[in-house]
A and B are shown apart, each in its own frame.
Chain A
């Protein structure tokens, strides 16, 4: 029996900011969930199950917070599933929720991801040392900077490319009311003058720490028919994982990312992603990951990703807009960041992305990754239902 087609009929985000001191964890997630329900014109009673994700529990200091959040998310009496796949979790959570619909286990599912980083300290949360394992004492930036340097050496990319990405994403963010970082006075010179944090990654090329949540309502064909707004249809979705550390690991272009993209394109019958995909929301926490992932996801040949960025192809008005929302560089509630990518891809094909809407998007890719660039989750959504 073929899978049930999965439709996104509701999307809700909070305004992402450094600290939401006006709401509790419960208040934060409820805000996003209520906006998604409103978008779908549904109530809590219409929801059959809740799938929630976030990055490590140490980021807020609450062990398995979904237990406490069950009431706030209307989950009492329902199934509630908690996903945790490191930075890719927002995407994985959406895929687990989508599977519930695709398998016809449930008809309408609320999925939500969040992070309230102001309740703790992410750098601390990432740096707890344990014996006999490599410590990550410099946070995520310290881990990823050497891989960026390896990319530059391998491809010969000029050292200006990273700042172009940051300048673009931060300008896109000015068009997105939910983005955390809004700097109307941004210039390329200001980006390039920022202090170096982890060479070659400058402060201005680094994601912020944000409080925020993102929710989506996923439903079946019948549910989609009742949707007051155009749904986004899932055409493919996949997760891939590989170990953190092993001799054959390519940190510049992990095989798990390439395999994951290939699986999504196979499901969505995409043979030329550069030509057939109209917008991409990819997980770029440090600016150089845009050219790196352009290659990993098959939008550019190996060694050529930076040329797309440099030529302006990934600008909002380029032929392959990347991160029209402003991306992770402009808002990073870590656990939610992957789901925001998935949700923004859906907004684009629904034509509801507001000021950062790209004209005529029929198919869009949402991408997330996590851990030591070892966990990947992606989906491809379209304005039309999948064939068949």
Chain B
């Protein structure tokens, strides 16, 4: 395998609404920022890959307009996943592994404000048996939370503590949508209160990947991707043990998480209860700094939130705050699909 690193990361401020901005306008400053950080221009990049969802934009082929923002002329080698940008990063990492590219630009964005995101996400469920019942995303997460409480894995007080910690940590994150003391709030869907749920908002993120010496030339302390893997589980909520996340566990094994301890973990857990599930699957102890950015409870721009976890973990490596960090992204209801990566500060060949 080639040594590949995240060498730059940028994100927008995450906001409840961005009515005055198109997706392209929301994305442009982030693209400029991440390119400026390396001094690269669009034409220097070997491969570009993005993640987004037509259903958030309410329009087919919404991603085609984002390409205008990249400035893809002369034409570029480019692809797109209809998923969180973390999977776009995976596709870009594979492309670099083939040797066909040495650098990659990965970006992702999502505007949840034009629609009712709880309703929109019901369209992601089994279209014949489940979606017609319109179970919304909070209700589905509440099923998982109640299963955890029933299993004795957590309780409402412990969940509230996760929310409090996340939003306190978000005070140091200038991009966060929510930060500071947040009351647990009323029940949204029992047992989840507003404090247990992510904010709905708009945002974008971008990273640049580079291989070997190119990475060293572009970044003082590259965040080397030591392993990356993703796995999917069955879709039906009735055929899964919702208190476990075997796909996270397997992806983590494949990514080498358990080879040596990590000091930081950026987990994509939009609901407090999902952090409980992920901590268990990943075997994270209290000595691991979880979501120093505030995590998805502080800002959860759909389709970008997973890529942001990779970016935040990389930024901790870049700054020297972390030596070995875990980054996680999720997709689908109740943590159906999970991606895990391990980032490290030093090159094995240094």
Contacts and interface: CB of A to CB of B under 8 A. Distances in A.
A241 interface: yes
B337 A84 contact: no
> For chain B, what secondary structure do more than half of its interface residues adopt (helix, strand, loop), or is it mixed?
mixed
Nearest to A24: B128
B232 interface: yes
B67 A84 contact: no
Nearest to A255: B75
A67 B331 contact: yes
Given A239-B77, A374-B64, A61 B123 contact: yes
Contacts of B333: 67
A79 B232 contact: yes
Given A59-B60, A63-B123, A241 B78 contact: yes
B53 interface: yes
A159 interface: no
Contact of B67 (A59, A103, A244): A244
Contacts, number: 192
A65 B53 CA distance: 12
B68 A246 contact: yes
B54 A57 contact: yes
Interface in B219-239: 229-236
Interface in A35-58: 55-58
Nearest to A240: B75
Interface in B59-79: 59-61, 63-65, 67-68, 70-79
B296 interface: no
A60 to B, nearest CB: 7
Contacts of B336: 67, 70
B126 A99 contact: no
Interface residues of A, number: 69
A64 B331 contact: yes
A243 B73 contact: yes
Interface residues of B, number: 63
A185 interface: no
Nearest to A129: B59
A134 to B, nearest CB: 10
Contacts of A78: 231-232
A351 B233 CA distance: 38
B61 A63 contact: no
A279 interface: no
A64 B71 CA distance: 27
A84 B125 contact: no
A244 B68 contact: yes
A191 to B, nearest CB: 30
Contacts of B22: 132-133
B63 A57 contact: no
Nearest to B233: A76
Of residues B22, B48, B55, B70, which shows the largest number of chain A Cβ atoms within 10 Å of its Cβ? Answer: B55
B212 interface: no
B57 interface: yes
Given A61-B123, A241-B72, A130 B337 contact: no
A81 B76 contact: no
A381 to B, nearest CB: 17
Contacts of A100: 94
A64 B332 contact: yes
B234 A76 contact: yes
Contacts of A71: 234-236
Given A67-B124, A259-B75, 10 more contacts: A3-B99, A57-B55, A68-B127, A79-B230, A83-B81, A86-B61, A96-B94, A103-B95, A241-B67, A241-B76
29 contacts: A25-B127, A58-B55, A61-B123, A62-B131, A63-B55, A63-B124, A76-B232, A77-B246, A78-B231, A79-B231, A79-B232, A81-B90, A82-B81, A82-B83, A83-B91, A85-B79, A86-B64, A102-B98, A103-B98, A119-B127, A239-B78, A242-B75, A242-B76, A245-B68, A246-B68, A254-B75, A255-B74, A259-B74, A260-B75
Interface of B: 22, 48, 53-55, 57-61, 63-65, 67-68, 70-83, 87, 90-91, 94-95, 97-100, 120-121, 123-128, 131, 229-236, 246-247, 250, 331-333, 336-337
